[in-house]
Amino acid sequence: MASTLRLPTGTSARIVPSGSFIAQSCTAGSYQCRSFSQTSQNLAGRPMNFRQPSQSQPSFKTRTKDMLMNQLPNDIGILPGTFVKPLWRDRPSIFEHPRDRLHMEWTWLKTLFTNYGSLLQYCKRENSFPFNFKQRRHIASQLMEKMYTSFAQGNIPEIRRFCCERLSTRLVRQIEARDASEKLEWTLVKYLRKPSTNFLGLRVMSDRATSIPELANSGIRQIVVRVTSRQSMATSKVEQPKRGAQPVETLVSTKEQDCVEYIVVQNLRWNGKDNGWMLWGHVTPTTMQQIMEDPYFAPGLSAMERMEQIKEAMMNGSSGPKK
């Protein structure tokens, strides 16, 4: 019994002498011949893949690294082992606790040479960066004045531009919690040129730098500056009168006080991109208890014991001076 073969509309079929079946397409008055038997032989044993060839894509590791580079924070905390020398009155008495006082002075002297060694390694041996020793106090004073001025004005975009993440978040919360009718005005009266700041009003207490492992062309430099100044803060109340009248501003209080601050500024580089100098925040001076407990300073430890305790402290996040 002969079988009937149904063809799509617009297609005809014919038998050629070779016995192969040929399909003809009659679209637009022309046709194309294709041998089904030959096509099946050519495709036999070859997988069908209808995807278009695409360009080579970066590996998952590369894409992950690029994503992390775009999301890296500007606040990685205080560098471990940062020593901030306290004021004379806050150090152990040379008469009552001579051993503690000598140990604190010796620790400060060691960290002083270590800090300059880290700067030399970071700025000259690994990179070609200027030391900027003369500009350090100016950078700290400029950022400090901008922070207090922007905070008093409630300028949130400016605060986020030059303050690190945690500091800017804390300042923004205080601004948002402020009464809308309250107006602040901060004024730097003068720098107090005391012996604790070498009669300059600002003194560099720590200047350290280090490269960031596993990130090419990445590193951080942190500077701690002691600032002695007289500051003034005026608080006013702005009342909104009836329509057509100008707002009335009434002075509520003016407070002036002498301040001793330890300002931390940092310059962070990610993958060769310089983020510029930013204000990290404040720290407190290093105490005698921290010197005895911090593995970076603690006496009587071998090199191996010191390294093990440093690793443990870094894992627990307990190293470095507190804010």
CA distance 291 to 289: 5
Identify the domain containing residue 88 by its residue range.
81-312
State the angle between helix axes of 165-176 and 136-153 in degrees (0 to 180), rounded to the nearest 10.
30
How confident is the model at residue 34, as a pLDDT? 47
User: Is 146 within the bounds of a domain?
Assistant: yes
Of the candidates 257, 261, 195, 206, the residue with the CA atom closest to the CA atom of residue 228: 261
Sheet strands (E) in 81-162 = none
Work out how many domains the chain is built from and give that number.
1
Instruction: Give a yes or no: residue 62 inside a domain.
Output: no
Q: What is the reported pLDDT for 85? A: 96
**Cα Rg of the chain, angstroms:** 36
- Determine, yes or no, domain membership for 2: no
Distance CA 247, CA 114 (A): 57
Within 8 A by CB and 6+ apart from 190, the residues are: 201, 229, 230
pLDDT at 251: 81
Task: Walk along the chain (323 residues) and give the pLDDT tens digit of each residue.
Answer: 444 445 455 544 444 444 444 444 444 444 444 443 444 444 445 554 444 444 455 554 454 445 445 556 788 889 988 999 999 999 999 999 999 999 999 999 999 999 999 999 999 988 888 999 999 999 999 999 999 999 999 999 999 999 999 999 999 999 999 988 889 999 999 999 999 999 999 999 999 999 988 788 889 999 999 999 999 999 998 887 777 677 777 888 899 999 999 999 999 998 888 889 999 999 999 999 999 988 888 887 776 776 776 667 656 654 455 55
Structural domain contains residue 45: no
* Cβ–Cβ under 8 Å, residues 12 and 30: no
290 with 49: CB under 8 angstroms? Answer: no
Residue 72: its pLDDT value, please?
65
**Cα torsion angle, 8, 11, 15, 17, sign:** negative
The confidence score (pLDDT) of residue 313 equals 63
Instruction: Confirm whether 28 is domain-assigned.
Output: no
Q: Exposed/middle/buried for 236, CB within 10 Å: 0-12, 13-18, 19+?
A: middle
Q: 152 with 185: CB under 8 angstroms?
A: yes
DSSP 246-295: PPEEEEEEEEEEEEEEEEEEEEEEETTEEEEEEEEEE--PPPHHHHHHST
Torsion region of 109: left, alpha or beta (phi above 0 gives left; psi -120 to 50 gives alpha): alpha
**Encoded amino acid at 223, one letter:** I
Residue type for 212, please? I
**What is the model's pTM?**
0.74
Is there a domain that residue 65 lies in? no
- pLDDT for the residue numbered 322: 52
Is the residue at 259 inside a domain? yes
Identify the CATH number of the domain in which residue 281 sits: 3.10.450.240
Whether the CB-CB separation of 12 and 24 falls below 8 Å is answered with yes
Q: Write out the two tokens for 55.
A: 């360009």
Tell me what pLDDT residue 273 has. 85
Residue 93, in any domain of the structure? yes
Angstrom distance (rounded) from CA 74 to CA 256: 33
In what order do the strands lie in the sheet containing 33-35? 11-15, 21-25, 33-35
